Each structure stands twice: as C-alpha cells, then as structure tokens.
Structure 1
Amino acid sequence: MHQKLLKSVHYIELGSYQYWPVLLPRGIRLYTYEQIPVFLKDNPYITDGYRAYLPSKLCLKSLFILSNETINIWSHLLGFLLFFILGVYDMISVLPSANASREDFVICSICLFCFQVCMLCSVGYHLFCCHRSEKTSRRWMALDYAGISIGILGCYVSGVFYAFYCNNYWRQVYLITVLAMILAVFFCSNSPQLPHPTMAQAALCYILLCVWLWNNSYSALDLVKWRCWNFSCSTIKF
C-alpha cells in the first residue's frame, strides 16, 4: 500500500519553488507550458503546473489537486459560499430586524444572486478550461465573461435603486440603460465568434469600456441635471 501511494506521487516544479509532492488521481498529470495545447497558452510566464487533455469527469476530480489553477478555483468557490451565507443571513436576520420592505428583499436577493452566479461561472471556467475539447474550454470562457457581466449588474441594480429611491422616473431610466448594456455584453460573450482568443480579449475590453462609460457619462449627466436644477431654483427665487 505504501509503495502504491509513492507511485502516485508526482513531483512538479511550480515557479521558483522546489519540487512539490502532489497526489494526483489516476489519469491526471500536470504539464509544462510547452506541452499544453495552443488554446491554453495565454501566459508564457506561468511555466508549469498545467492540467490538460482531460474529460469532464477528470476535470471535476482535478478540483482537489494542486495546480496553477487551484487558487483561482477555490477563491471563487469560497466566494460563492460567502455570498450564499450572507444572503441567507440577510434574509432571515438583517432585513426582518430592519423592517425592510418587499422591494428591499427583492433588491438584496438580486444583488447577492448575481454575485453568486459570477463566482460559480468563474469556478466552472477555471475548472473546465483544461478540457480536452477546445470548443468546450472556450464555451466555459464565454460563460465566465457572461458571469462577470451578471456580477456587474448586481453591483449597479442596488446602487441605482437606492440612489434614485425618491425619483422613480430616473431610476427606471438608469436601470433600463444598465440592463441594456449588460445584455449587450452577455450576448457578445456568448457569440459564436468568442472562441477565438482575440474575440475573448475584445469582450473583456468591452466590459471594461461599458463600466467606464457608465461611470463617466452618468456622472456628467448628474452634473448637468444638478446645474439645471440649481439654475431653475435661483431663477424662481429671483
């Protein structure tokens, strides 16, 4: 038994560290950058510790091995559990004690649900990116980008809802605009063209551009509305 265990111990070199002993399930091995397929070669500075050529079942088993995706997988998985626990705690303790309205429950649920979806999509991508099928790997990448857009939606829904709590018209305008932008990113990330790396990078740039435009354009719009409001008030007083 002891000899069999030793045979299952593989030594891999991770960065500047010495060889780490890693227990690998049968059928899973780790590769260097030169050994992995082209569609996995995104960062030449990560030289080894790659999972590759795995079917779906072994992708799931690789959750419990040490590789260069371990931190990515578990940080998002623990993030999902954190948001799930926070959601349950808010629903059964925080919101009832604050006499929250039904709208508060809905907005809080949407916000935390979006964060959980974002975390799970990232877990799925980092877990299945090593799939032997390039198409499957790219589809999980597309789902990861879609999850990011859903996470952004969760950030803005709660902010817009409470920032314009007393102005229903502008609240609807902002929410519809945000939803339209997020849907555009979602459909872009799930486009058949996304499996190409250049399109994946373009989708990420589009997400960042949407966030930047949102922050700057609406800040400028708020400034214009504020100036118009103060001008009209001063005119009336005069």
Structure 2
Amino acid sequence: MPQKLLKSAHYIELGNYHYWPVLVPRGIRLYTYEQIPSFLKDNPYITDGYRAYLPSKLCLKSLFILSNETVNIWSHLLGFFLFFSLGIYDMTTVLPAASASRDDYVIYSICLFCFQVCMLCSVGYHLFCCHRSEKANRRWMALDYAGIAIGILGCYVPAVFYAFYCNEYWRQVYLIMVLAMILAVFFAQIHPYYLTKQWYSLRALIFCCVSVYGFIPTIHWIWQNGGMNTPIVQICILLIWKIYAHPGIGCLF
C-alpha cells in the first residue's frame, strides 16, 4: 500500500487524536461516543478518544497510546509507585528513626497497602474497561469499586487507631464498624443490578455514607479531648490545614 494511503488509514484510526505524536499498535483504533458499545456509554460529554472492542492483549498495549483514559490510567499507576516508594521509605527510615513499635509498623503497612491496592484496581479498570466482552468490563468495574472500598479502609484504620490509642474499647468498636461497612460494600456487589446504570445513584450513596461515617469518630475524638479549643485539637487542625495548604508537607508524615 502506498505511503500516502497508509498515512490516511492511520489518521482514520486515530480520529481527532491524529494530531498528537502517538504511536498506535496495529489493531487499535479510537472511537467516538456514538460508535462505542452501550456498556461504555457513561458520559455523553466525552465525545471522542474511546478504546473499544479490544482483546486483553491489545488492552495492555493501549497503555502507551493517547486516549480519553490515559490520564486516569497513568495518574493511578504513578500513584501506586508513589505509595510503594513511601512505604519503603517509611519502613526503612521514618519508623526506625522514631523508635516505632510493632503496632506502628502493622498500621502503616495496612494503610499503605490499602492505598496501593486501590491504585492498582483503578489502573486495571481504566485499562481493561475497553475489553470487547461486557462481562469482563463489569468484572473490572467491580474490582475498581472494591479497590475504592479498600482505599477508604486504609484511611480509617490509622486515624481510628491513633485517635483512640488510649481508649481501647472505642478503638475496637470503630475499627469493627468500619470493617463491617467495607464488607457490606463487598457483599452488595453480589447483587446482579449493583453495577448497572440504574443503580448508579445507589452506588454513589453507599460510598458517600461510608465516607461521611468518618465524622462520627472525629466528633467523638474532639469531645473526648475537651472540645475545639483544647491544645491537642488545635494542633491537629493546624497540621491538617498545613498538609492541605502545602501538599508537600504531607510527605513528611
């Protein structure tokens, strides 16, 4: 085939993305919203750049092309490596320097492991959601939701453990309740309608409830320490403000 025709065919495969300097493996093309299967149609405002109808091998190869999932894939993949490197740094430098106990090592390990699982599950879904099988798409979506639940668990465990370090009863109560909620989210996925578009609002509500639950132990901790004006509460508020106002500070903790 003449070079000019090959170039035209390459542009057709890339659609509006042919202006970007990307290499697309043979067998992969990008589709518009109207061209993709119904189970991929989540957001009509994203009009182009869809991968679809791919076997597993080409899903993996699509990791290195520019599509409308590129940012999702690489932000979570880099997030995984960030938490992995932070885990190594904390275990080999920060915790030994602080003379951490065995419990500290366990809690930090659980926290960082949960975050890494969350990142990898999201990478898997955004990479393989373009699989030609709807069943495979749903399985990866379920894994993504499971990863989100595990990530939420990773947020709760260290917060509850250290907030109620001197109150073992309430520490156990809150940890058991959080674990029960996460298990409930897992079991909810068994329902055949859980991953359908009809239950989208219910899925969002479930995760919102699991997240908002964190206000209960937070309010309890503030009350237990004498209210908002006590020094320890003020110090924690100041630290949280500094972490959010200057994200780089968060790497020190």
Same fold (TM over 0.5): yes
SS in 2 for 1:22: coil
Measured at CA, do residues 226 and 80 of structure 1 come closer, stay the same or move farther in structure 2, by a change above 3 Å?
A: closer
Q: Which residue of 2 aligns with 1:37?
A: 37
Q: Which has the higher strand share?
A: 1
Cα separation, 2, equivalents of 1:225 and 1:101? 25
Map residues 95-134 of structure 1 onto 2, 5 A cutoff.
95-134=95-134
For residues 87 and 220 of structure 1, do their structure 2 counterparts lie closer, same or farther at Cα, with a shift above 3 Å needed?
closer
RMSD across aligned C-alpha pairs, in angstroms?
2.3
**Aligned equivalents of 2:145, 2:36: Cα separation in 1:** 23
For residue 159 of structure 2, give the secondary structure of its aligned residue in structure 1: helix
**Contact 2:50–2:68 (CA<8 Å) still a contact in 1?**
yes
Shift of 1:198: 2.3
CA deviation vs aligned residue, 1:147-192 (integer Å, no higher than 9, x gap): 0000000000000000011111111001001110111112223443
CA 1:201/1:23 → structure 2, altered by over 3 Å: closer, same or farther?
farther
Query: For 1:82 and 1:202, how far apart are their aligned partners in 2?
Result: 32
The answer to whether the 8 Å contact 2:129/2:141 transfers is yes
Counterpart in the other structure of 2:214: 215
Q: Secondary structure at the match of 1:151?
A: helix
Match of 1:92 in 2: 92
Q: Per the alignment, do residues 102 and 126 of structure 1 end up closer, same or farther by CA in structure 2, a change over 3 Å counting? A: same
Q: Tell me, which stretches of 5 or more residues in structure 2 are unaligned?
A: 227-253
How far, CA to CA, are the matches of 1:201 and 1:138 in structure 2? 17
Shift of 1:203: 1.9
Structure 1 residue 204, shift from structure 2 partner: 2.7
Task: Quote the offset at 1:218 in angstroms.
Answer: 3.8
Report the Cα offset of residue 35 of structure 1. 0.2
Q: Which residue in 2 is equivalent to 1:230?
A: none
Q: In 2, are the aligned partners of 1:29 and 1:51 still within 8 Å (CA)? A: yes
Deviations 1:1-39 (A, max 9, x none): x9498477434225xxx8435321011000000000011
Residue 15 of structure 2 corresponds to residue 12 of structure 1: yes
Kindly indicate whether residue 170 of structure 2 is the aligned counterpart of residue 170 of structure 1: yes
Distance 2:21 2:219 in 1: 56
Q: Which residue of 2 aligns with 1:193?
A: 193
What is the DSSP-based 3-state SS (H/G/I as helix, E as strand, rest coil) of the residue aligned with 2:15?
strand
Single out whichever of 177-186 and 61-70 deviates more from structure 2: 177-186
Counterpart of 2:234?
Answer: none
Q: Give the C-alpha shift of residue 225 in structure 1.
A: 6.2
Amino acid in structure 1 at the alignment position of 2:180: A
Show the counterpart of 1:158.
Answer: 158
Query: Residue deviations 1:55-89, cap 9 Å, x none?
Result: 11110110000000000000000000000000011
CA distance in 2, matches of 1:163, 1:223: 10
Contact 1:80–1:115 at 8 Å: present in 2 too? yes
When residues 160 and 217 of structure 1 are mapped into structure 2, their CA distance, relative to the original with a 3 A threshold, is closer
Q: 2:75, 2:190 → 1: CA distance? A: 24
1:45-84 correspondence runs (5 A): 45-84=45-84
Equivalent residues of 2:160, 2:217 under 8 A apart: no
Q: Unmatched 5+ residue regions in structure 1?
A: 228-238
Q: What amino acid is the match of 1:185?
A: V
Q: Tell me by how many angstroms 1:210 deviates.
A: 2.0
Distance 2:220 2:85 in 1: 37
Q: Return the alpha-carbon distance in structure 1 between the equivalents of residues 154 and 127 of structure 2.
A: 24
